[in-house]
Amino acid sequence: MRDDVDPLVPWWFRPSTARRKPKSGSSLAALSRARDALTMKLLATDLRGKTVMSDEGLMLGRLRNITTDEKTGDLTDVLVEPGEDVDPRLFRRDQRGYLVFPFENVRSVRDVIVVSTVNATY
C-alpha cells in the first residue's frame, strides 16, 4: 500500500490518483462494506406500502408518500393511509385524508416504519 493513502478513507473518497478498490478478502474491504451498511440508501418505492406504527405500538396504516421541500430537497412529511382501527381525527391530515407526520418523527425503518406521534396531532 502507498504511504500517502489513508487506509481508513474509503476508496471512492480518495483522489483519482490514489483510488484503488480493495481486494475482496482484505480487512480494508470489510471496513468498506461496514461503512456502506451504515449509510444504506433506501428508495421511496421500496418504502411505499410499508406498515407504519407509532412508537407506542399503535398500528397507524400504510405509507403512501414522502414529501420534500422543493428548494432544499429535504424530506418534510410522511403521508400515511390510515388503518381501519385508527381515528384519523386524532392526527393532522392532508386534503386526501392521509395522516401527516413530520419526517423528523420517523424513528426507525425496518420491516415496519416507526414514527413518534408526539407533536403530530391535529
Higher pLDDT, 118 or 119: 118
Q: Give domain limits for the chain.
A: 1-40, 44-115
Closest CA to 61 of 70, 48, 69, 51: 51
pLDDT digit string, tens, across residues 6-57: 566 555 555 554 445 555 555 555 555 555 555 556 676 778 889 999 999 9
Q: Does domain 44-115 have CATH number 3.40.50.12160?
A: no
For the chain, percent of residues with pLDDT exceeding 90: 40
